[in-house]
Amino acid sequence: MSGALLEVDGISVSFDGFKAINNLSFNIDSGELRAIIGPNGAGKTTFMDIITGKTRPDSGKVIWGEENVSLIKKSESDIANMGIGRKFQKPTVFEDQTTRDNLTMALKNKRKPWAVLFYHSNADDRAKVDDIADEIGLSDHLDRRAGDLSHGQKQWLEIGMLLAQEPRLLLVDEPAAGMTVDERNHTVTLLRRAAETRAVVVVEHDMEFIRNLDCKVTVLHEGSVLAEGSLDHVTQNQDVIDVYLGR
């Protein structure tokens, strides 16, 4: 056992004979912030789908390190309950509920969000919601309808809803897309802070955003790891340059 929080060992998956993930190995440590980049079709989404149980690999191992259990045959909800949260690109908040209610729902029950309709939150929950709102920078927007928040604020709210479920690994897909410069900067701060207490993996195209995240970068290409290291290190790698220039 490597001691990693998540250990991906030699996974492959093909769609109609096309290898989308090709013998990919990859470790994430506890409390690590990691960026994954790569051109379109590199396998980034498929990789996240495998980790979260949406797609089953044809071969290889995915081990949740702390319990040393295989995730391969687990369902998506089992994996979420084990502490792997995933944020998709498009925010999916409950628009007609307030920011507070969205966070309370996430805190109370990750499987049955509607349960909050029958639930009165106690002081402890209210304090937790206040803490999360503070962490995501929405303390002044707790009583607003989520549908009235800006695109960036909705993204932060959804990250807050995931944090409420206390993941040990948070996967975030293209958080900077569609954001203003200020929103992007706040998102960097938020993700860096989130990674102080859990592992965070960010898939992102925006290189300026990744530079500001200031973390280890993994470059995927044709379903395998092409390079790994600091952003400066990987962007000086000739293989990476060739792939990005389409050579």
- Residue 41 lies near ligand ADP (rule: CB under 6 A): yes
- Residue 88 lies near ligand ADP (rule: CB under 6 A): no
- Residue 15 lies near ligand ADP (rule: CB under 6 A): yes
> Which stretch, 39-47, 63-71, 139-147, 155-163, contacts ligand ADP (CB under 6 A)?
39-47
- Residue 102 lies near ligand ADP (rule: CB under 6 A): no
- Residue 65 lies near ligand ADP (rule: CB under 6 A): no
Q: Give the distance, in angstroms, between the CA of residue 36 and the centroid of all CA atoms in the same chain.
A: 10
Cβ proximity to ligand ADP: between 50 and 138 the closer is 50
Q: How far is the CB of 1 from ligand ADP (least distance, A)?
A: 28
- Exactly one of 1, 17, 40, 238 binds ligand ADP (CB under 6 A); which one? 40
- Exactly one of 5, 8, 11, 20 binds ligand ADP (CB under 6 A); which one? 20
- Exactly one of 5, 28, 46, 215 binds ligand ADP (CB under 6 A); which one? 46
Chain residues that interact with ligand ADP, rule: CB under 6 A: 15, 20, 38, 40-46
